[in-house]
């Protein structure tokens, strides 16, 4: 199964992706996670991407498309994948179309998680992330069992560099200008899910679409 998860920053793409990918045993491909891993390891991609990420702007298409091509060539993508945070511009969507055509595969589901801006700022400003295993928590909606410690791996939790309120506002603006046009681009293929519900309810709605 091949899935694209669309939606504004903080709508719950990463949270839902983890659950869906476990359920269907497919790899979770998050361009944001790949970029953060590159920044952490100090790679050339990481140093080129960091200033864009810190300001909440998009990393140039050519870097992202190259990363996706490399990721698709890995063995675990043969039986499907879930894309989280890619594509994010029309140019990326067109590059993805070309790549899929060349690989003779297609996307089965495109799901858009819809959440209004005021909920997003509230959610992201309370998000805690694990820089070791990537698990995501929330001080209001998904607390770790032990304060500031990851339930899964025991590492210390932290706030992402781009989760400050002024950066979140810029990310939302960038989303409206550069990513929201994808809803029109994919048009009838898109299935909308109400992301204002609890994490469990959102999962249920997504599973109804995928089953
Ligand atoms: P990326 O990492 O993709 O960030 P994003 O799109 O801004 O999305 P987030 O990860 O912030 O939110 P999410 O939707 O995953 O929500 P989550 O599940 O964590 O990108 C970061 C940066 O990298 C970009 O700004 C850009 O610079 C660059 N980048 C990445 N991809 C790119 C691309 N393709 N092209 C160019 N640049 C790219 O949930 C958020 C919080 O809410 C959590 O605390 C969670 O616990 C909580 N939560 C989740 N669901 C619910 C719910 N239903 N109710 C209550 N709380 C909930
Ligand atoms: Mg995410």
What CATH code is carried by the domain that includes residue 39?
3.40.50.300
Ligand 1 atom nearest to CA at 199: 53
At 35-60, the pLDDT tens digits run 999 999 999 999 999 999 999 999 99
pLDDT at position 152 over 90: yes
At 211, the pLDDT band (50, 70, 90 cuts) reads confident
- If one counts the domains in the chain, the total is 1
> Ligand 1 centroid to 30 CA: how many Å?
9
For residue 207, give both structure tokens.
């599973």
SS3 73: coil
Q: Is residue 167 part of a domain?
A: no
pTM greater than the 0.95 cutoff: yes
Within a domain: 192: yes
81-122 pLDDT, tens per residue?
A: 999 999 999 999 999 999 999 999 999 999 999 999 889 999
pLDDT score of 165: 87
Active-site residue, 2 included: no
Continuous H helices in the chain: 13-24, 31-41, 44-55, 61-72, 90-103, 117-125, 165-174, 181-186, 199-210
196 falls within a domain? yes
Structural domain range at position 66: 2-116+176-210
User: For residue 52, what are its two tokens?
Assistant: 């864009």
Is the CB of 171 inside a 6 Å radius of any atom of ligand 1? yes
Per the prediction, the chain carries an average pLDDT of: 96
The tokens describing 21, both together, are 């990918």
What is the whole-number distance in angstroms between the Cα of residue 84 and the centre of ligand 2? 7
Tell whether ligand 1 has an atom less than 6 A from the beta carbon of residue 28: no
Strand partners, 6: 112
């Amino acid at each position: 199964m091949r899935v694209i998860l669309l939606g504004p920053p903080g709508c719950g793409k990463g949270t839902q992706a983890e659950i869906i990918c476990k359920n269907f045993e497919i790899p979770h491909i998050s361009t944001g996670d790949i970029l953060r891993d590159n920044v952490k390891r100090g790679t050339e991609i990481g140093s080129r991407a960091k200033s864009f990420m810190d300001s909440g702007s998009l990393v140039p298409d050519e870097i992202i498309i190259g990363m996706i091509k490399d990721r698709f060539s890995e063995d675990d993508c043969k039986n499907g994948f879930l894309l989280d945070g890619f594509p994010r511009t029309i140019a990326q969507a067109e590059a993805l179309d070309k790549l899929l055509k060349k690989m003779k595969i297609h996307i089965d589901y495109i799901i858009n998680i819809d959440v209004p801006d005021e909920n997003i700022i509230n959610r992201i400003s309370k998000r805690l992330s694990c820089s070791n295993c990537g698990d995501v928590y929330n001080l209001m909606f998904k607390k770790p069992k032990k304060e500031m410690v990851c339930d899964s791996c025991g590492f210390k939790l932290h706030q992402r560099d781009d989760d400050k309120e002024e950066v979140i506002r810029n990310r939302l603006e960038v989303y409206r200008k550069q990513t929201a046009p994808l809803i029109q681009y994919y048009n009838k293929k898109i299935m909308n899910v109400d992301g204002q519900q609890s994490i469990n309810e959102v999962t249920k709605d997504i599973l109804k679409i995928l089953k």
